[in-house]
Amino acid sequence: MLHVLYLVGISAFAASGVLAAYRANMDPFGGLVLAFAAATSGGTLRSLILDDHPLYWTHDWVLLTLIVCVSVGTIIYLRYWQLPRKSLLVVDAVGLSVVTVIAARAAIAAGATPLAVIILAVMSGVAGEVIRDVLCGEFPPLLLREDVYAIAALAGAASYLGLHHLQVRADIAAVVCAGLVFALRMAAVHFGFHLPRPQQLKPRG
């Protein structure tokens, strides 16, 4: 179950990379580059912080093949059909939810402290989106403009940590917490939720 969930998250981020490239008017090669960057950045950051070598994707041919297939399939689809306006936000939310939970699980297995688990999970969850947006020339990245993005990842990581301490089965906890992250992110998109922003000071005189 966890492996399937992991592959779903990687596929979602790969598709989000192609969609972002499409919106930035990049060619198919640019789509492939963004797909790999979005799909592997979060896991790479997680592995580097946890000193987990060699990097997971360098010896996982199934994962690399999946990224290529999803990317090419998305490129072909976009050649003939138009995706819904919010499709990028949806697949990005799927990737965020899964990568966040997988990172939390890896950090717990590595013996990280509870606070470190949450920090690592959030950083891993948002890394793919940040790298993708920077490569697209979109600044500031979505993360810095949409408050309920990292917050959704934080809620999911904290929930997974809590369920782990309650000794809930890992696969059940992963599905529940990934669903929570996705629901929070989609609710924020649909209803326009965001944290209060500081008001600009009006010049005197």
Per the CB < 8 A criterion, the answer to whether 80 and 23 are in contact is no
Sequence-ordered list of residues with C-beta below 8 angstroms from that of 64, at least 6 positions apart, any chain? 57
Q: What distance in Å separates the CA atoms of residue 152 and residue 154, rounded to the nearest whole number?
A: 5
In this prediction, what percent of the chain has a pLDDT beyond 90? 47
Which tokens sit at 79? 């050649």
Q: Is the pLDDT of residue 196 over 70?
A: no
Contacting residues for 46 by C-beta, under 8 A, at least 6 apart: 52, 102, 103, 106, 107, 120, 123, 124
- In tens, the pLDDT along 17-45 reads 898 888 888 899 999 999 999 999 988 99
The secondary structure of 106-173 as a DSSP string is: HHHHTT--HHHHHHHHHHHHHHHHHHHHHHTT-SS-HHHH-STTHHHHHHHHHHHHHHHHTT--HHHH
The predicted structure's pLDDT at residue 119: 95
Residues 121-135: tens digit of each pLDDT? 999 998 888 888 888
Query: By C-alpha distance, which of 27, 46, 97, 40 is closest to 68?
Result: 40
pLDDT in tens, 67-96: 999 999 999 998 888 777 678 788 888 989
Residue labelled with tokens 């979005």: 38
Give this prediction's pTM: 0.85
List the one residue out of 181, 174, 180, 179 whose CA is nearest residue 160: 174
Quick check: 15 and 74 in contact, CB under 8 A? yes
Give the whole-angstrom CA distance, residue 188 versus residue 193: 4
What is the spatial distance between Cα 85 and Cα 114, in angstroms, rounded to a whole number? 38
Spatial distance between the Cα atoms of 30 and 50, rounded to a whole number of angstroms: 30
The answer to whether the CB of 58 falls within 8 A of the CB of 48 is no
